[in-house]
Amino acid sequence: MPQPDRRARLAIAVLATLAILSIAAFMTLGVKGNWGFVLEYRGRKVLGLCLVAYSVAVSTVLFQTVTGNRILTPSIMGFDALFVLIRTTIAFFFGFGVLAQTSVQLQFGAEVLVMTGFAALLFKWLFLRGQRSLHLMVLVGIVFGVLFRNLSLFMQRMMDPVEFQSLQDTFFASFSRIDPTLLGVSFAIVAVASILALRIAHSFDVLMLGRETATSLGVPYKRRMVTILGIIAVLVSVSTALVGPITFFGLLVVSLAHVLCGDGRHRHILPASVLLGIICLVGGQTILERVFAFDTALSIIIEFLGGIIFILLLVRGAAR
């Protein structure tokens, strides 16, 4: 067995063990009273955390595959800014009370539909009409992100300060408020996207070689790109609607996966990234709840570490 392959397999085995231990610790530490109720309650939270970890990790790996850049994440396409704009628009025109009283199921459905619809229109314009560059798509996404943020800021400045403060609390990712009623439909959506990804998984490594090489090797480049971008849009929309915007979490786990595996092949990077995501979210939430007693937010810690990784990648010239 080649050395890189052995190293990657060992890393995945260690990460799988740590992920299982993290889940076991979250499910059992500090349990008092009725075990059946506690395990059921915590089990739903674990499922939500694992779903978010999976969606963010897979979408980030695939986005870096299609862009050929190790420092980019799907958030650069404006999904996070669009999420903030949706909530700001509702609060601005109808009042924050309407947003707060709207059922989480309706909010989730609307946010997923709007974000995936935006991505579909963008991909259709860039890929189905002419031979536009993938880099143009990223640039357009950045421009839309800036536009969405400025529109949100414009409306926020005209809002009542009390309503704005309440609204601002919903802009930050919260891994402790995942609604269990959304898990079923979220798992179904992610499962469909995952099945589509599995059907074309054999071409992921080839796509990393670029358009010309992939086409010469018989891969339908344009069709594969549209499919992968659609999968990314669905995964990002679901995870963002569930917990809120997460800018650097995907970059954090994928970068660590590359370091640990020492191998860029998707059969190693994908499972390693997902396992690292589970360790970060479930293990981090366990420490947050049992050690710090919710004195700080897990998303702040994760985004801080992810930001450091982003800066290090820029300094080391990791962009390719």
The CA-CA-CA angle for residues 102, 108, 109, to 5°, reads 100
The string of pLDDT tens digits covering residues 126-145 is 665 555 566 777 788 888 88
Q: Which residue has the higher pLDDT, 230 or 39?
A: 230
Return mean pLDDT, the chain. Answer: 82
pLDDT at residue 296 tops 60: no
pLDDT tens-digit series, residues 39-61? 787 888 889 889 999 999 999 99
| DSSP assignment letter at 262 | -
Question: Is residue 314 a contact partner of residue 71, using CB atoms and an 8 Å limit?
Answer: yes
How many residues make up the chain in this entry?
320
Residue 310 inside a domain? The answer is yes
Residue 320 domain-assigned (yes or no): no
Q: Which of 81, 76, 111 is closest to 229 using CA atoms?
A: 76
- In a domain, residue 50? The reply is yes
Assign 188 a pLDDT band (cuts: 50, 70, 90): very high
Is residue 287 included in any domain, yes or no?
A: yes
Is the separation of the CB atoms in 250 and 274 below 8 Å? no
HEC per residue, 140-194: HHHHHHHHHHHHHHHHHHCCCHHHHHHHHHHHCCCCCCCCHHHHHHHHHHHHHHH
Residues near 105 by Cβ (< 8 Å), separated by ≥ 6? 181, 182
Exposed/middle/buried for 101, CB within 10 Å: 0-12, 13-18, 19+?
exposed
Q: Is residue 178 part of a domain?
A: no
For residue 261, give its domain range.
1-25+35-58+248-315
Tally of domains within the chain: 1
